[in-house]
Every structure is written in structure tokens, then in C-alpha cells.
Amino acid sequence: MTFARSVPFFNYPAMFAERSETYMATMHDVMARGAFIMQRDLLSFEEELAAYLGCRHAIGVADGTVALTLSLRAAGIGTGDEVIVSSHTFIATAAAVHHVGAIPVVCDCLPDAMMDTASAATLVTDNTRAIMPTQLNGRTSDMDAIGALAKQHNLKIVEDSCQAMGAKFRDTPAGLFGVAGSYSFYPAKTLGCFGDGGAIVTNDDDAAKEIRELRDHGRGADGKVKRFGHNGRLDNIQAAILRVKLAHYDEAIARRRAIASRYQAGLSDIAQLLLPPAPDSDNLRFDIFQNYEIQADDRDALREHLSANGIGTILQWGGHMIHQFEDLGLRCSAPYAEEMSRRYMMLPMHHMLSDDDVDYVIEHIRAFYA
């Protein structure tokens, strides 16, 4: 089928083509040196990432799920502990809690897709040890409210900030509000490598020491095993690629925010849509727009209409909140998330989109509701 324009949800080939010669030269350099595991490229990336975020420690790990799991372990979360997580998150959030022997307890979300702290407050028990907000779609939760709840009940904060590297709340970057925060470098992330990758950030020296050991089979700096750990290191070639991308990261975020502003201008008057907060609409937050997730009346028909015109959309998490995977038996009361799951969808959002691409999407959404 021929379309007037094709706008895939994410353009993976363009991600490589953007700087293909630089990427090839970078990979050749790493491989020619035989520098495959925990070499200077990884150390340099960690230093540069920590400097970019203004934190004491950035630790490269194999992926975002490893980042979540090791962060929980470093926070002392273990068997029988309860950890409050949001209903609107990737299953890895709850899985990481499960894998350290703890129990994920699921709260509701708000219209902006962030954790509903009032819902979370109703779930605190004598066994609750931590709260894990998901900083979703490149936006931070209300960290004032979450911090107050954590202080009231003596809870650890461990952030799933895998979608929010560089997002801020009151000028503090996502990932730096508690014991540790996790990032994912999955290819479609705002900072994406060419495979799986992740990082943990923290200002806690003891947590950083433990995480560095845990990611490398429990080995300390002297090479002696100190604890049972994991094989959870960030691949050195991916670290080298991420160094290239980090140098251009601010440009990519600025472009995403410009695209979000364009969507806002073109779609905000359509009564059947609920858009995410516009850039600079909230003076407490700096959003990086990892995704552009909307809620829409007649969602499935809208998606079919867009697909018929060459526009790719997806339903985050395959259209399921985590408590809707019935086989997992997650404890939950999330009426807003239930309703949202019938309405939410994501429009194309990445820095390689042109203004014409965005306008084409807007044109066809307006045509559908007209």
C-alpha cells in the first residue's frame, strides 16, 4: 500500500544512519583494542553520565531490569518486604521486586500517568519497606508527595526512572530522590544504544560500592568475591556508543520537547483527546518526552485510521496495566488505571521526526474526529 507519507512509530534504521560513520569508527576502535568488558569506554561513560546528571555515582549495567533489581538489593529490600509500585509501568518494575524476594503492591495512577500518592498511602502496612515511583514517559512523579509519604512511614525510595533520564522535579534529576535510580538504554529510549543497556545512579557511597560488586559476580575492587552477585555489566561497545550519543543528548531532548509543543498546538482543541502536560506547563517539572502518550475516545478506531494512512502507534505494555496480567496475582485497587487502559495510546515521538511528519499525524487525527 502506498501512503502520502509514512511515519513509523520509531525509525530504527534512521537511528543508526544519523551518525553511521561515527558509530562504525567507534565500534572499530573498541574491537581493534579488544576492549570488550569493563574497559576505559565504560569507565569514561560512567564519569560523563555522572557529570551530566550532577551525581556522585553512575554505574553501567546490562539493562534497566538489572538496574532495578540491584538498586532494590542495595536499598536492603528482601524476602517478605512490601514495595509499592504504580499500576502504569512495565512489568520489570514489579518483577525486580519479586526477584529480590519482596512483594509488589500496586497503586493507582493519575491522569498524567504518574503514581497516585494518595492511592499509595492507603496501601502502606507494617511490612511496607519501600516505594518505587515510575518516572514514566519522560516525566517525574510528584516527588514532594512521595517524599512526604516515605518520610512519614520510614520507607526507602527506589526510582524506576528508566524512561526519564534528564527529566527533573524542582531541578533534581529523576533517579536522584532516594537510595538509587535506574535508567534503561533500550534502543528506543531517549538515550538508546544498539542493544540492551542500563545504568544506576546514586549519591550514596555505600550503595554504589555494593552495586558495583553486585553487577560483577559480587567481586570487590581487589577481585575477591564479597557477596553473591550477578553478571550484570554494561557491554563496553554499547558504553562507547552511548558516549557518542550523550554528547548530543541535550539536542535530542530539545527536539522532543519541540515536537510535543507541536502536538499540543495541533491537538489541544480536540475534546475527545487527553494530551500529556505541555512543555513548561508545570514550573515544578522538566519533561523530556520519552513517549507521547495520549488518551483517546474511540481509540481502536483511531489507531486503525492512522495505520491506514501510514502512521504507526502502539499501546504501551501491550495495552495492559501490570495488575491486568491475571496470572501474576498482583494485589491492586486501581480504578483510574483500569479506565485509562481502554483509552491510552502512543503517537510517534523521537527526535528524528520532521515537522512535516508531526503535521501529517496531526492532520489525520483531526480528520478522524472531524
Domain stop point among 219, 246, 273: 246
CATH of the domain at 364: 3.90.1150.10
For residue 348, the model assigns a pLDDT of 98
On whether residue 130 sits in a domain, the answer given is yes
pLDDT tens, the chain, 370 aa long = 667 789 999 999 999 999 999 999 999 999 999 999 999 999 999 999 999 999 999 999 999 999 999 999 999 999 999 999 999 999 999 999 999 999 999 999 999 999 999 999 999 999 999 999 999 999 999 999 999 999 999 999 999 999 999 999 999 999 999 999 999 999 999 999 999 999 999 999 999 999 999 999 999 999 999 999 999 999 999 999 999 999 999 999 999 999 999 999 999 999 999 999 999 999 999 999 999 999 999 999 999 999 999 999 999 999 999 999 999 999 788 999 999 999 999 999 999 999 999 999 999 999 999 9
pTM over 0.75: yes
Q: Are residues 309 and 346 in the same domain?
A: yes
Q: Are residues 212 and 312 in the same domain?
A: no
Domain count, the chain: 2
On whether residue 114 sits in a domain, the answer given is yes
Q: Are residues 225 and 298 in the same domain?
A: no
Q: Are residues 170 and 304 in the same domain?
A: no
Q: Are residues 65 and 140 in the same domain?
A: yes
Q: Are residues 62 and 211 in the same domain?
A: yes
On whether residue 10 sits in a domain, the answer given is no
Distance between CA atoms of residues 318 and 44, nearest Å: 36
Distance between CA atoms of residues 262 and 349, nearest Å: 11
3-state secondary structure of 106: strand
The domain in which residue 25 lies consists of 16-246
3-state secondary structure of 223: coil
The full length of the chain comes to: 370
For residue 208, the model assigns a pLDDT of 98
Q: Are residues 117 and 161 in the same domain?
A: yes
Q: Are residues 101 and 146 in the same domain?
A: yes
Q: Which ranges of 36-142 does DSSP label H, i.e. alpha helix?
A: 40-53, 64-74, 91-99, 117-121
Q: Are residues 219 and 315 in the same domain?
A: no
Q: Are residues 186 and 89 in the same domain?
A: yes
CATH of the domain at 64: 3.40.640.10
On whether residue 4 sits in a domain, the answer given is no
Domain stop point among 215, 246, 277: 246
Domain stop point among 246, 264, 280: 246
Contacts of 158 (CB under 8 A, 6+ apart): 68, 71, 72, 75, 77, 83, 130, 131, 132, 178, 179, 180, 181
On whether residue 188 sits in a domain, the answer given is yes
114 phi/psi in degrees, rounded to 5: -85, 165
On whether residue 92 sits in a domain, the answer given is yes
